[in-house]
Amino acid sequence: MNPLRTRRATVAVAAAVVLSFTSAGFAHGAAGGVLRDDGGKITIGIKFDQPGIGLKTPDGKYTGFDVDVATYVAKQLGHDPKDIEWKEAKSADRETLLQRGDVDFIAASYSITPKRMEKVDFAGPYLLAHQDVLIRADDNSIKKPSDLNNKKLCSVTGSTSAQNVKTKIAPNAQLQEYGGYSECLTGLENGVIDAITTDDSILAGYASQPEFKGKFKLGGFKLSNENYGIGVQKGSELKAKINKALEKMVADGSWQAAVDKNFGPAGYKNEPAPKIGVVVQ
């Protein structure tokens, strides 16, 4: 066998492998922790319909606590705000978006649970919320969790909130699952729904909107602990990088500033910043 021909063949094969990895590896999403390399862009999943958490405004802007956290994290990963492509991550779609590589990471009121950890990894937690209910301001029939029995209780498809209530607190509650919390809110306002259940941070965001001032109130029930994490693909190196970014956000005061900015107007009493890697049961 000609040694020179062998060496040339080896170099050609190696070059082809490198070219294949470069064209394919950097085009997909977060698998293996590799971000997209298309002009510095990064794709982040957030909620589009949760005031105070993740909201796409009529003029095309994005606001909320999760948006601020995600923007900070992206900057620590080397991406300016203009590099961010925001993608809607509905509750029922979050694992699929990550597994397909449609997004690099998700910050969308995404509670860390054992079932979800079988499919994706989580950085964080970065916020400890509690499940609560939102009811009409003039409704005096729901004063304690068990009063939800025989009431029409709304949550969104894919959320664990309503199931928690029916399984553990009010087995006779009538569950209504809608595509988004804004739909639940319309039902509550019109009297079709008696209560909405999800995290207190999300409910406080809705209750604080100017158009709903005085119409709704929080039940004040701490029905569960919800540890918000940032979802990444299983095995992604991004998890460690995002954790470092979150630790820095807390240390330099940016985390508390984001809490005050997004939840302060509603008088939301937030928990202190959680320790990274510590999930409160």
Task: From first to last of the 281 residues of the chain, give the pLDDT tens digit.
Answer: 444 444 444 434 344 433 333 333 333 444 334 444 444 899 999 999 889 899 999 999 999 999 999 999 999 999 999 999 999 999 899 999 999 999 999 999 999 999 999 999 999 999 999 999 999 999 999 999 999 999 999 988 877 777 788 888 999 999 998 888 889 989 999 999 999 998 899 888 887 777 887 888 888 898 889 999 999 999 999 999 999 999 999 999 999 999 988 877 666 778 899 999 999 98
Is there a contact between 261 and 279 (Cβ–Cβ < 8 Å)? no
115 domain residue, yes or no? yes
86 is a domain residue: yes
Residue 113, SS3? coil
Cα–Cα separations (whole angstroms), residue 233 to 31, 32, 69, 117, 149:
6, 8, 19, 10, 38
The region, left, alpha or beta by phi > 0 then psi within -120 to 50, assigned to residue 43 is beta
The domain of 163 spans: 129-225
Same domain, 109 and 235: yes
The CATH number of whichever domain residue 100 belongs to comes to 3.40.190.10
In a domain, 8, yes or no: no
Task: Clarify whether residues 184 and 57 are in a common domain.
Answer: no
Domain count, the chain: 2
Do residues 121 and 248 share a domain?
Answer: yes
Give me the sign of the Cα torsion angle 140, 145, 148, 152. Answer: positive
**pTM to 2 decimals?**
0.75
